[in-house]
Structure formats: structure tokens, C-alpha cells
Amino acid sequence: MKAAGPRESAIVRSILSLHSPDLVLVKVPAGPRLRGCPDIIGCWRGRALALEVKRPGLQPTALQATALAAWARAGALAVVVHSAAEVRGLLT
């Protein structure tokens, strides 16, 4: 199934452009040692964030879902997001 809408890299850039004094976001570099790692990690008001970015209509791979579950068990807000607006909604 081909996803419609913006490319994942454009969605990542728009999320990384979110600014707030109590928000830090970092793009995780791609590489074989980081397979499954969320696309963006960060911290918001003392809470760890693990964001897997997907184009609208797409879901994470099994490996990505497993990684998000591990982040969530450790106490992070670990979610799949499809837009910067969706991230803003989570941080209210």
C-alpha cells in the first residue's frame, strides 16, 4: 500500500521545528546498529519521548513496535506520529 501525503523526512523536519522551552527533540541517525530505534527521541517537561514517524496510513514494522513498547515500559511517552500537529496535541 502506497501512502499519500508528505514524505516521512518532511514530517520529521516539521516535528523537529517545534519549539518550546521545555521540549528537546533529536533525530536518531539511521544505521544498522540502531535498527528499530524511534526516529526522534526527546524530553518534554521531564518525560522521555520516543516518536516513530510514519506517513499517514502507514504503521510501524514489528521491530519498531517492539522498540516503542520497550521505551513505554521504561516510562517514556512512546508513540507513532504522523504529523507535527499530532505531536503538538500530545504535548498539551
∠ CA 85-81-16, nearest 5°, is 65
Position 33 scores a pLDDT of: 86
Average pLDDT, the chain: 94
Helix (H/G/I), strand (E/B), else coil: 73: helix
User: Within 10 A of 14 (CB to CB), how many other CB atoms are there?
Assistant: 15
Which residue did the predictor score with more confidence, 35 or 81?
81
> Which pLDDT score, from 0 to 100, does residue 1 have?
55
Q: Is the pLDDT of residue 3 over 70?
A: no
The domain locations on the chain are 8-90
The CATH code that applies to domain 8-90 is 3.40.1350.10
* CA separation for the pair 66, 58 (Å, rounded): 16
Query: What's the pLDDT at 45?
Result: 96
pTM of the model: 0.92
pLDDT grade, residue 15 (50/70/90)? very high
